[in-house]
Structure 1
Amino acid sequence: MPIISVALGEGQTSTKQREELIRRLTSVAIDITKLPAQAFTVLINELPNDNIGVAGKTLAELRGSGAL
């Protein structure tokens, strides 16, 4: 069973956006592999913004400074 995993910073997406990600990622995977939808599992992991680092700073720091 193929697993598609996506990691996002907390608060980056709404429930509707995550649902759309699941639908579209599954659809693209079906188109490419020709496997049935039931074969795919999509995992969306929301990580705390202080557990993600970009350019030596946490995502929380970057958001707080207005850089993102």
Structure 2
Amino acid sequence: MPYVNIKITDENVTITQKKELIKGVTQLLVDILNKRPETTHVVIDEVPIDNWGVQGELYSEIKHKYN
């Protein structure tokens, strides 16, 4: 039973995009590892940008520098 956890920032990801991610990841596991889609689990965690760090800084602060 494969389990895939995708973590993304909570920046307006649509339901359609989430469905595409789940479908695509599931298909990769079917195609590459011969896993069964009915036992493949994909979870998407949306992380607030204030809880995401990159380059030693909060992503929310870096994003505001470039907007």
TM over 0.5, shorter chain: yes
| Runs of 4 or more above 6 Å deviation | none
Q: Structure 1 regions of 5+ residues with no counterpart?
A: none
Q: Tell me which amino acid in the other structure corresponds to 2:45.
A: N
Q: Please give the root-mean-square deviation of Cα atoms over the aligned residues, in Å.
A: 1.3
Q: Which residue does the alignment assign to 2:50?
A: 50
Count of aligned pairs: 67
Q: Which residue does the alignment assign to 1:6?
A: 6
SS where residue 5 of structure 2 aligns? strand
**Mapped partners of 2:26, 2:54: distance in 1:** 28
Q: Tell me which amino acid in the other structure corresponds to 1:61.
A: E
Identity, in percent, stands at 28
**Deviation per residue, 1:11-41 (Å, 9 max, x gap):** 1521111110000000011001112101100
Matches within 5 A, 1:12-51: 12-51=12-51
SS where residue 35 of structure 1 aligns? coil
Instruction: State whether residues 2 and 35 of structure 2, in contact with CA within 8 Å, keep that contact through their aligned partners in structure 1.
Output: no
Normalising by structure 1, report the TM-score.
0.89
Q: Tell me which amino acid in the other structure corresponds to 1:63.
A: K
